[in-house]
Amino acid sequence: MPIATVNPATGETLRTYEAMGEEETERRLRLAEATFRTYQTTGFEERARLMRQAADLLEEDLEEVGALVTTEMGKPVAQSRAEAAKCAKAMRWYADRAAVLLADEEPDAADVKDSGASRALVRYRPLGPVLAVMPWNFPLWQVMRFAAPALMAGNVGLLKHASNVPGTALYLEDLFHRAGFPEGCFQTLLIGSAAVDGILRDERVRAATLTGSEPAGRAVASTSGEMIKKTVLELGGSDPFVVMPSADLDRAVRVAVTARTQNAGQSCIAAKRFIVHDAVYDAFTERFTEGMRALRVGDPMDEATEVGPLSSEQGVRDLAELVEDAVRGGARVLCGGERPGGPGWYYPPTVLAGITREMRVHREEAFGPVATVYRADDLDEAVLIANDTGFGLSSNVWTRDEAEVDRFVRDLEAGGVYVNGMTASHPAFPFGGVKRSGYGRELSGHGIREFCNITTVWHGA
């Protein structure tokens, strides 16, 4: 895949980039290793000062970087600016809390005595250069939720970004450089996917994190396992959105529309399968379809646009094939379902009903604004449908019955259960999934400790 900026709204190639050769890649790996030796000795106060400066610069650049992200991957520009602002928030969150999250831990005094020690502690130490293989759908946020905790822990970062957002990748390297981080603390590698395996095998790279597709996750996990390197994987999702009779239906419908179509539906944690109790199925489905149909699709640089183009022509083809397969199998198209004419990689907000287990859209992730609606007779059936997927990233539950909430929290196979609200990542809460959605956690204290050497320090009596 060429490394290029291609405007999804027009299909026009705006700029191409030369991939880094072996010599430049080797230079950057040497620099990362050398920088780590000194950067790991800096204190939390200095790291926090640099991170806050980077956050300030990012906020100053909101208009510029928002336009860049929209031009490269197509999300409405207001959403791009919001993504950048969210990154600055996370950077400050870790700057304020890293010292506490990674503070030395004192074991119970009785256990220390029983071990024969005069004193003991647990210390969190950085691992070294960490390779981040990141996707295009949230090209700032996906990177920053790795970079902020990793740098605050004393690691250094190597970013292999998606090949369709090279401008954003280079911007992020420049951001940390302008903030005053030592050269080599955060570097972008403009390389193709084929070069990732060799970098993973390099002994100077100590760990890896990937957000992306299942095939990419399997490849990174396989090589990292062979090399015995720590990995964190955040892969696909087909999140359920369960609506029970006691739900506030008006709110549920409004949130459902946003949850399915934010970023043109190109989100791992987007609600994709809407599982509705029979008692409210007709009312919910009618209003939900009306809301999806009413969305404004158009130029992502227009502030009024609610749904922009998909990121690529292939993405449109993949989504259309899922819809066509479902229709051939008997699904009903309640709205959308046909690609519009004209330039750009657009696909309309679409609602499908009458889904069966044989349809591809039931088994595969629909990465675009296509919603599937299921009817459930009761709570038990709702749970069965929700868990009838290989994914387990997050979930949404709409009910005012606390007993039902307890059941869903206990039984749903997911890394998160969001009750009466939309799944959203926040720096304070761990983020990640189970099953084919990956393993490990980002964000919160759990995320910053993923790439630390958890060290026992024991002193004899």
Please say whether the beta carbons of 143 and 155 come within 8 A. no
Distance, CA of 152 to CA of 52 (rounded, Å): 11
DSSP-based three-state secondary structure for 300: coil
DSSP annotation string for 418-459: EESS-----TTS-B--SGGGEES-BSHHHHHHTTEEEEEEEE
Distance, CA of 185 to CA of 170 (rounded, Å): 14
- CA nearest neighbour of 20 among 196, 210, 147, 216: 196
Helices assigned H by DSSP within 102-131 = 109-114
Encode burial over 420-457: b for 16+ CB neighbours within 10 A, e otherwise.
eebbebebeebbbbebbbbbbbbbbbbbbebbbeeeee
DSSP-based three-state secondary structure for 394: coil
What kind and span of H or E run contains 243?
strand 239-243
Among the listed residues 33, 72, 185, 268, the single catalytic one is 268
23 is catalytic: no
Structure tokens of 315? 């993405």
For residue 396, the 8-state DSSP code is: E
Q: What is the CA radius of gyration of the chain?
A: 23
Structure tokens of 55? 């956050």
What are phi and psi for residue 445, nearest 5 degrees? -65, -30
Among the listed residues 72, 234, 365, 450, the single catalytic one is 234
234 is catalytic: yes
For residue 20, the 8-state DSSP code is: P
Report CA-CA distances (Å) from 6 to 10, 73, 80, 111, 344: 8, 8, 17, 60, 10
Distance, CA of 408 to CA of 244 (rounded, Å): 11
For residue 160, the 8-state DSSP code is: E
For residue 302, the 8-state DSSP code is: S
Please say whether the beta carbons of 130 and 32 come within 8 A. no
Q: What residues are labeled active site?
A: 234, 268
